[in-house]
Amino acid sequence: MKFLITTVSALVLGTAALAEPVKVGIASEPYPPFAAPDAAGNWVGWEVDMIAAVCAAAELECVVTPVAWDGMIPSLTSGQIDAIMASMSITADRMQTIDFSDKYYNTPTVVVAAKGSGITATDEGLAGKIIGVQVSTVHQDYAQTHFKSAEIKLYQTQDEANQDLVAGRIDATQADSIALDDFLKSDTGACCENVGAVADDKDILGLGVGVGLRKGDDDLKAKFNAGIAKIIADGTYDKVTAPYFASSIYGG
């Protein structure tokens, strides 16, 4: 099953007749294999397909709306978008400002470094090293909390961190395992390897990835929860996932 978004500002996904389409924010920065523009500028990826599937199951009209990652929550709270489906982890800190649906995926957080570097995904293993992380993410919070012996370098996008790792300007990067697996499978990422998952910290890393929603938007939350539950129960979730991943990424 594959869904293609050709005109993100105009194409509406879903079947319901709402007064206004639900504007679903995705990060305008490429984050493959979850979401990225192809050569023709069409947004493709697992999360793009998941938006289409969830909205259809929830009987919602949805329009995908790219937003800069660091402006995602302000765009939601100000009403520029109505929901976030951009690999945003459900954390206590974020829940002070916004609400979340049930999770729709949950994968480990890992550290990647040059092959043979001897780096490990611990404070000791990163002591004196430079680790790059994307700004305004759980990875920034985690690195600044747990890797105090390392120098933390912030990037606007994960791709920029990956490029600096390849160029040797940083020693390691931390991100979602699936996103970094995609990098490691590329020709560019052949220099590097996954050196391990970080120690679990649910207070920072959260309880999986959910749909971000404005507080008090309980009806929309219920619809997204129903849509997520439906596609898991009827097998659509696995059909969407199969072209991208060898196994389910729903997680525990």
16 part of a folded domain: no
Are 101 and 211 in a shared domain? yes
User: What percentage of the chain reaches a pLDDT higher than 90?
Assistant: 89
63 and 146 share one domain: no
User: Are 80 and 140 contained in the same domain?
Assistant: no
Give 148-207 pLDDT, tens digit per residue: 999 999 999 999 999 999 999 999 999 999 999 999 999 999 999 999 999 999 999 999
Question: Is the domain of 101 the same as that of 183?
Answer: no
**HSE of 161 in the Cβ direction (CA atoms, 13 Å)?**
29
Summarize pLDDT for 2-46 with one digit per residue, the tens. Answer: 443 333 333 445 444 445 899 999 999 999 999 999 999 999 999
C-alpha to C-alpha distance for 11 and 232, rounded to whole angstroms: 25
pLDDT above 70 as % of the chain? 92
pLDDT at position 62 over 90: yes
What domain count does the chain have?
2
Q: Is the pLDDT of residue 48 over 80?
A: yes
If asked whether residues 166 and 128 sit together in one domain, one would say yes
Q: What is the band of 246 on the pLDDT scale with cuts at 50, 70, 90?
A: confident
Q: Which pLDDT score is estimated for 3? A: 42
Give the number of other CB atoms < 10 A from CB of residue 29.
Answer: 20
Question: Comparing 240 with 252, which gets the higher pLDDT?
Answer: 240
Cβ-contact 141, 204 below 8 angstroms: yes
The per-residue pLDDT for 155 is: 97
| pLDDT computed for residue 252 by the predictor | 67
Domain at 195, CATH number: 3.40.190.10
pLDDT at 132 over 50: yes
The strand pair at 62-67 and 22-27 is best described as parallel
Identity at 38, one-letter amino acid code: D
pLDDT tens digits for range 67-113: 999 999 999 999 999 999 999 999 999 999 999 999 999 999 999 99
178 domain-assigned: yes
In whole numbers, what is the pLDDT of the chain averaged over residues? 92
Structural domain of 36: 22-106+207-241
Same domain, 132 and 192: yes
Looking at the structure, tell me whether residues 99 and 26 fall in a common domain.
yes
Within a domain: 7: no
Q: What is the pLDDT of residue 19?
A: 53
At 12 the pLDDT is: 45
Locate all alpha helices (DSSP H) within 91-235, ordered by sequence: 138-146, 158-167, 177-185, 202-205, 218-233
